[in-house]
Structure 1
Amino acid sequence: MGTFNYFRGSNPTQHHVQLPVYREVTYRQVWPGIDVVFQGDQRNLKYDVVLHPGGHVDDIRFVCEGADHIHLDDAGNLLIETSLGTFTDLKPFAYQDTGCQRQPIDCRFVLRSEADGSKNIGFELMEQSDPGYPLVIDPILSYSTYLGGSENDVGFGIAVDASGSAYVAGFTASTDFPTTPGAFDTTFNASFEAFVTKLNPAGTALVYSTYLGGSGSEQGLGIAVDLSGNAYVAGFTSSADFPTTPGAFDTTLGGLQNAFVTKLDPAGSALVYSTYLGGSVTDQGSGIVLDASGNAYVTGSTQSADFPVTPGAFDTTLSGFQNAFVTKLNPTGTALVYSTYLGGSGSDQGNGIALDALGNAYVTGFTQSSDFPTTPGAFDTSSSGLQDAFVTKLNPAGTALVYSTYLGGSVIETGYGIAVDTSDHAYVTGDTASADFPTTPGAFDTTFNSSFDAFVTKLNPAGTALVYSTYLGGSGFDRGTDIALDASGTAYVTGFTQSADFPTTPDAFENSLIGPQNVFVTKLNSTGTALVYSTYLGGSGSEQGLGIALDAFGNAYVAGVTASDDFPTTSGAFDSTFGGVQDAFVVKFDFVQSFSTGVIPNLTETGPIASTIQVLISNDNLFNVSTIEIEAFYLSGSNRVPYVHELFSIAPGTVMSRSYFAADFPAYEIQYFITGDTAADVLVSVFPLDNQENAVAAVSIIRAEAAPLVRITPVP
């Protein structure tokens, strides 16, 4: 893993050279039959306690030297108060690998007092473990919850608001699907209904949850959230009494099945607008995205020759058995801004949609049409196999294609998810059965592995060439279903795999396929050449990851479906018990790199040391943007009071400066959180300045001296 050199101060005895670096270090037999494993993870340090058969959990004792006070909060997290601030160790998660599954074991921290008044830290199992298998206690697991009732429940789409609340859309056949008092509809109406659920940021409770449907069948397939907390859902319905609103674009079911677009208010208690979208045959809404004005852009498929289109739109005529469509709905849901078919003489379907800052819509899906509309100079203008993925960029007026290309090899491909970065590169994921699917030199995996592999492809802004393209999979069936991007252009992909050799990273939450089919969550670096993080996620049944979204800090939220009664959930999560035939699930991964200066004293007998605090941030990566969150606190008695909270991006190869007031504070602390795979290239230095604006060198802290904060690491 390489070596590090440390030269601090002028004393040669404090200089250390050629220090080896390891990803994982195991201390064996710390207590009889018990190992402690330390792991380097995204520049943080985590530890697992491993009890081998014969080890006793009561033997585990940790002592924190230098701690002023140790206690547990109401959630069971361990709080360690020191002169450098309060450090948090999250409520532990324990499990046993039994060979075919990972079995969660309820576990908690316990504090025990010694004769000298000090406290040691241990663990207590709240349920019986199997003494024949090793037990692993992992104190840093984020939230993971079931979401469902006693029948079939599936989470398809997920979105996240600025506070970290997750919104999920899907469908349910459960009459006891969890709803909340005062929600729009708390009564099950038919065989399958759409649902919309909002979870709180901790994943411990529902903010609201509602059915959405009529007396037929519905599925919610896509969801988006605006800055006010309104949720927009796209899907399909066969109900003539699907709930619509007066004045909406279309309040009448037009065929056997129509798409729908529904806007739900922030409380989840009422419809802002709700409309059918379709013609006289069958239509489906698959993906939805919003612009800053509240216009909703929807893609899907239609078999209706009378699907509503607008004059001057790119294509106003159904060309084959089934075409994709792209529709822009005005902010009130009362009219179409534009609406167009997209397809050829075969069968075509839009699955995912994204939007750039200018209002260009990017769509992916599949086409079986040899005459699917492409543009001159596009990456691939010829159909290559039985079915290809496509990537199409539509201008803001919906009247013309900016570019349109096939994406595939000689067999079958489907594009499922699409995202766009700030430079207008389009990123697509899906699946391919082609050994000649187009990949790029140096990409993570350029060799076809199985019957179907997932793929991740990045196109240049003109749609004329691939920036990178890679397979993602093993020797079984693999599919990428959704993709999201952080500010640095790092791609986060979810889907599902049947491959026992699906590529994972050493810090994966699960590095083995447990059931016949598990979710995967993969973070690919910005050049598409390597995995930053990749893990299985699931139990002994079958799972699918179907939606992924990121918050502003780079935390990933995944929704999908599981048939496993041992799907990994976390203590305190909304629902840790499998409810029925299959349940939806919602999982949060935290990829933020977090650092703190610790508490810096700022008073002497003669007055304050610093009047202001200068924070210098430099992004030494020459190609990618990084996102920085800064929080500043001052101490008032025993309280840490926040007084600064900023979130901003820093361009490649640039330096930024921030100044914060400090003169009246007896002590202060600066925390900063770095998002993106450029984080290793971001340097942060904190310089307290006196009233003459001179740096107070004695308390200047550079990033190498800052302590990693104990926050949730990239596990579900």
Structure 2
Amino acid sequence: MKTLTILLIVFGSAFIIFASDIDIFFLQQTKFETKFETNLTKEIFNSFSINLSKNDQNKLHKKISYSKIPILILSNEDKLTNYPNTKYIARNVGRGKTTVYFTTESIDFFTKNYLIKLKMEEGNLEEVEAIGKGTLDTKITSMIGKDESQWKHDIKSYSGIVYRNVYKDVDLYFSVSKNGNLKSEFLVRNGNYEQIRTRYEMQTKNSGENQIKKDQNNGEIFYRDGCSEEEEISRCQFEFREKAPLIYQNGREIEGQYKVEKNVVSYLIEGDLLEKNKAILIDPEFSIYVGGSDEDEGMAAAIDVDGNIYLAGKTFSADFPVTSGAYSETLSGNSDGFLAKINSTGNGISWATFIGSDDEDQIVAVKLDSSGYPVVAGTTNMANGPSPFPTTSGAIITHCDANVTGFVTKFNLDGSALEWSSFLCADTSANINDLVLVNDYPVVVGKVFITKFTTDGSDFSAVNCFGGSDNDVANAITLTSAGNLVVSGSTNSADFPIINNGYNSRGTDTDCFVAKLSGSDLTTIFTSALGGNGFDYALDVATDIYENIYVSGSTKSDNLPATADAYQQAFSDNLNLFSGLVFKLSYNGIRLIYLSYLYGNFSQGQSFSSTSIATTTDLVYISGHGDCFSQYTDSYNFFNASATNTTAKGYIAVFDQVFFSLVDTVQLSEFFSSMNAYSSNGILVTGSTTDSLNATSGPFGEYFGGVFDSFIIRISPCDKGSYRPNAFSFCELCAVGTYKDSVGNNQCTDCIAGTYNPNLGSISADNCSLCPPGRVNPNTAASSLDNCLYCQRFYYAPDPGLTQCLACDSDQFSSISRTHCIDKLNASSFIHFGLSSLLFALFFLLFFVF
């Protein structure tokens, strides 16, 4: 990844930027704009512009063209500016001479002769801390004056900042928009937008009325200096104008307007248009769209060590956003597979390519090898024809007699060429359903087969075709922490083999199966089966660090062995519909640990399924289809769920790994195709949507395109010192009195008794300070030195960090500092001596004076 080195050199008040790939031009500027696009979670998007008079522009001497210089959000911890109470600075806002100071009291926009201060009326801005988000690789140096010791090196820069809880459950974000402007967002988690009241304070060279007004014609708010409302803008010395707000909830636009009262701006929204107490943004890191004007479906995703995301699937869109120089820039058939590399911030595509034949093709799985090369697997409908799916010379299978077959393909690093590509032909259907890499060896599963390729695709390393005499299909495969493989699927074979005492609870129709195999030679370690009096399908599988096995799927059986602690124990199949299913097996496949149904309101004639499952350090994530959890909205934090939501198509539910209690869930109108864990606590979810899924802003994928668009959601692990209040919220700083010394989504740890911690976001137990000698604290999670109480008169605390005071002997009492005890006799003698000395001193003084 290229690192952009930027040197900020400041001589007096001139601010000059040098960069390795930025040109510097000196010319006269005629206009600049600063835009704000504000998202109230009922998202409220605003934009404003600032216009200087030509006279003021000409007073600025040499100018820099800012058209190629990015906005820089810099930390002020190295004291880049003496502007009061500044935590962060944004340079080059609006491609002009505007600097934004993010202070503890307001957000201040400063340009030549004009200052606009935004304050949160009756808010908590002074009590919350601004936090940098998205640390950049940009290297910045500030060289002010001739004294090199005062120069600043490696100044931290960010893609955005956030003020947490500027109002109750309201966060204020700032970031760089796709147009290179500074963007702000209000995230209103509880839907209570009425509390947001922004005061605009204008300080200009005009001593006249500094009032912000509302334009009754277009709903905009504005302030002018040096001209009247009716005059042309060219006659103004200064104009501030903010466009009418755009308001969204649940992906739909809602009509609203500004309310202006003496420079305090709030929002008016029709009450019956809103769903009360609803938060909108469900993705704490980012969600983006990839798609063209037709149908697109994201079916798999992977993430590399740098945080770049690889999204794969199928598309019918000829205008899908492939990049120049990609392996294939043209849609070949009715539908093609696609692979896109998305940068780590989610605001751009590094590269994207089609791959396919003259018929229909799709990629169902993508993995990255140890060198970062993407390996994909899928199915093509044209392996034999005039324009078949592409294979490469030297691959084990380059031609099939049958048209429908699976393929495995390895791309080069920039998506411009194939390293190798092979078919997987068979006498019967050879569709591929999933893929893993075992030490860079691709292993694929499908109908009655598990196949391991060599790393160059030139041969098969191992093959296992276990199963019975009827129809058996492996739907998913995962790699365990010990390097073994676990496969889940469905069997119709009455003679399906149960190996090594695997759990066996067969039903009367299609049943679930689970098999564990050696990662080296695909030798079967055990098989197990589970079913009831209906159809049962195992659709996905995951494991934890102990190799316990988690399976998700769907069922029509109403007599499955649900465990006593099941989330839903009973299921009625009287409407001939499917329920979702989740169960957990022991690492050796012998014991059923947990089984539960997952379903919602069948009165809408909707079946349910649990299509994907993934595990993190301590949680189990399940995604599926159907409005499974809306009836429990009063009990849990369901962002988009409602008992009357008839449009819900997908859900994600989060369970505790140990007790399998429901932790959190979200209901959406999206179809989820796959979900997988990365690192130990991150989750990637892919699928397709027909709605505008609150995508985070960026030059790529911000708007919904076709009938279906692909999407990807990344839920990243929280850094040290932060945690998630629930599974789908933003990471928040650990509270005072607590700390978190690991990366992940686990909760913060209380400081032990005898200590206190007044700081937010602590990353170590060392941040918990010991109560000083003479003071004790019997409680955990103390937030202040005031929680360390002084010992009473006959008690003492000789050491720091004590939880209770020690008693002095009967002939003692404690010292004034309460750190030790004093003998009463010695104390009396000392007091007597002190009084005598005092009287003698007074007598001597009186004698000397008189």
TM range (shorter): 0.5 to 0.7
Contact 1:92 1:109 in 2 (8 A): no
The one of 479, 483, 486 aligned to 2:609: 479
* 2:562 corresponds to 1:433: no
Give the secondary-structure state (helix, strand or coil) at the position aligned to 1:389: strand
Give the secondary-structure state (helix, strand or coil) at the position aligned to 1:365: strand
Q: Which moved more, 1:553-562 or 1:411-420?
A: 553-562
Given residue 285 of structure 1, which amino acid in structure 2 is its aligned partner?
A: I
Q: CA deviation at 1:161?
A: 2.2
Matching residue of 1:523 = 654
The one of 516, 519, 524 aligned to 1:393: 516
Given residue 718 of structure 2, which amino acid in structure 1 is its aligned partner?
A: V
Q: CA deviation at 1:697?
A: 7.0
* 2:245 corresponds to 1:125: yes
Given residue 474 of structure 1, which amino acid in structure 2 is its aligned partner?
A: G
| Inter-partner Cα distance in structure 2 for 1:511 and 1:214 | 41
The one of 393, 402, 408 aligned to 1:261: 408
| Inter-partner Cα distance in structure 2 for 1:487 and 1:200 | 26
Quick one: structure 1 residues 227 and 376, their matched pair in 2 at CA, closer, same or farther if it must change by over 3 Å?
A: closer
Contact 2:598 2:628 in 1 (8 A): no
The one of 377, 399, 403 aligned to 2:526: 403
The one of 231, 235, 251 aligned to 2:378: 235
Contact 2:125 2:163 in 1 (8 A): no
| Equivalence map 1:186-201=2 (5 Å) | 186-201=329-344
Given residue 125 of structure 1, which amino acid in structure 2 is its aligned partner?
A: P
Matching residue of 1:278 = 425
Contact 2:553 2:610 in 1 (8 A): yes
| Inter-partner Cα distance in structure 1 for 2:646 and 2:313 | 23
| Inter-partner Cα distance in structure 1 for 2:419 and 2:41 | 56
The one of 537, 556, 566 aligned to 1:414: 537
| Equivalence map 1:175-194=2 (5 Å) | 175-194=318-337
Give the secondary-structure state (helix, strand or coil) at the position aligned to 1:675: coil
Contact 1:58 1:124 in 2 (8 A): no
Q: CA deviation at 1:327?
A: 0.7
Quick one: structure 1 residues 555 and 383, their matched pair in 2 at CA, closer, same or farther if it must change by over 3 Å?
A: same
| Inter-partner Cα distance in structure 2 for 1:226 and 1:501 | 40
* 2:453 corresponds to 1:329: yes
Contact 1:109 1:124 in 2 (8 A): no
Q: CA deviation at 1:502?
A: 5.8
Q: CA deviation at 1:269?
A: 2.1
Q: Deviations over 1:545-600 (max 9, x none)?
A: 11112232523221011223x43333337323222221111122346375269xxx
Q: CA deviation at 1:89?
A: 4.1
Contact 1:416 1:481 in 2 (8 A): yes
Q: Deviations over 1:391-434 (max 9, x none)?
A: 01123454642111112211011111111222221111111111
| Inter-partner Cα distance in structure 2 for 1:35 and 1:406 | 46
Q: Which moved more, 1:173-182 or 1:129-138?
A: 129-138
Q: Deviations over 1:600-633 (max 9, x none)?
A: xxxxxxxxxxxxxxxxxxxxxxxxxxxxx9x9xx
Give the secondary-structure state (helix, strand or coil) at the position aligned to 1:187: coil
Matching residue of 2:366 = 223
The one of 454, 478, 492 aligned to 2:621: 492
More strand by share: 1
Q: CA deviation at 1:459?
A: 0.7
| Equivalence map 1:618-657=2 (5 Å) | none
Larger radius of gyration: 2
Matching residue of 2:137 = none
More helix by share: 2
Given residue 478 of structure 1, which amino acid in structure 2 is its aligned partner?
A: F
Give the secondary-structure state (helix, strand or coil) at the position aligned to 1:480: strand
What RMSD, in angstroms, separates the aligned Cα atoms of the two structures? 4.3
Quick one: structure 1 residues 195 and 697, their matched pair in 2 at CA, closer, same or farther if it must change by over 3 Å?
A: farther
* 2:508 corresponds to 1:369: no
| Inter-partner Cα distance in structure 1 for 2:197 and 2:704 | 25
| Inter-partner Cα distance in structure 2 for 1:294 and 1:268 | 18
| Inter-partner Cα distance in structure 2 for 1:573 and 1:137 | 25
Contact 1:409 1:437 in 2 (8 A): yes
The one of 131, 134, 137 aligned to 2:274: 134
| Equivalence map 1:315-354=2 (5 Å) | 324-354=448-478
| Inter-partner Cα distance in structure 2 for 1:428 and 1:592 | 26
Q: CA deviation at 1:466?
A: 1.2
| Inter-partner Cα distance in structure 2 for 1:359 and 1:59 | 54
Quick one: structure 1 residues 405 and 152, their matched pair in 2 at CA, closer, same or farther if it must change by over 3 Å?
A: same
Given residue 435 of structure 2, which amino acid in structure 1 is its aligned partner?
A: I
Give the secondary-structure state (helix, strand or coil) at the position aligned to 1:210: strand
Q: CA deviation at 1:112?
A: 3.7
Quick one: structure 1 residues 215 and 138, their matched pair in 2 at CA, closer, same or farther if it must change by over 3 Å?
A: closer
Q: CA deviation at 1:351?
A: 0.8
Contact 2:624 2:652 in 1 (8 A): yes
Matching residue of 2:663 = 532
| Inter-partner Cα distance in structure 2 for 1:260 and 1:373 | 28
Matching residue of 1:62 = 123
User: Percent identity over the alignment?
Assistant: 27
Matching residue of 1:384 = 507
* 2:316 corresponds to 1:173: yes
Quick one: structure 1 residues 463 and 678, their matched pair in 2 at CA, closer, same or farther if it must change by over 3 Å?
A: farther
Name structure 1 gaps, 5 residues minimum. Answer: 1-33, 37-56, 117-121, 302-323, 598-628, 632-669, 708-716
| Equivalence map 1:493-512=2 (5 Å) | 493-499=622-628, 501=630, 506-512=636-642
Matching residue of 1:154 = 297
Given residue 269 of structure 1, which amino acid in structure 2 is its aligned partner?
A: S
Matching residue of 2:673 = 546
* 2:689 corresponds to 1:562: yes
| Inter-partner Cα distance in structure 2 for 1:449 and 1:679 | 41
Q: Which moved more, 1:437-446 or 1:364-373?
A: 437-446
| Inter-partner Cα distance in structure 2 for 1:394 and 1:440 | 27
Per the normalisation by structure 1, the TM-score is 0.66
Matching residue of 1:48 = none
Q: Deviations over 1:422-478 (max 9, x none)?
A: 222111111111111222221322222663221221110110111222222213322
| More contact order relative to length (CA 8 Å, sep ≥ 6) | 1
Per the normalisation by structure 2, the TM-score is 0.56
Matching residue of 1:625 = none
Contact 2:300 2:313 in 1 (8 A): yes
| Inter-partner Cα distance in structure 2 for 1:148 and 1:243 | 23
Quick one: structure 1 residues 247 and 61, their matched pair in 2 at CA, closer, same or farther if it must change by over 3 Å?
A: farther
Give the secondary-structure state (helix, strand or coil) at the position aligned to 1:145: strand
Q: CA deviation at 1:686?
A: 3.5
Contact 1:378 1:403 in 2 (8 A): yes
Q: CA deviation at 1:363?
A: 0.7
Give the secondary-structure state (helix, strand or coil) at the position aligned to 1:65: helix
Matching residue of 1:687 = 766
Q: Which moved more, 1:248-257 or 1:676-685?
A: 676-685
Given residue 177 of structure 1, which amino acid in structure 2 is its aligned partner?
A: F
| Inter-partner Cα distance in structure 2 for 1:214 and 1:126 | 43
Contact 2:297 2:688 in 1 (8 A): yes
Contact 1:595 1:706 in 2 (8 A): no
Quick one: structure 1 residues 469 and 60, their matched pair in 2 at CA, closer, same or farther if it must change by over 3 Å?
A: farther
| Inter-partner Cα distance in structure 2 for 1:181 and 1:686 | 51
Q: Deviations over 1:146-170 (max 9, x none)?
A: 2211112111112222333222221
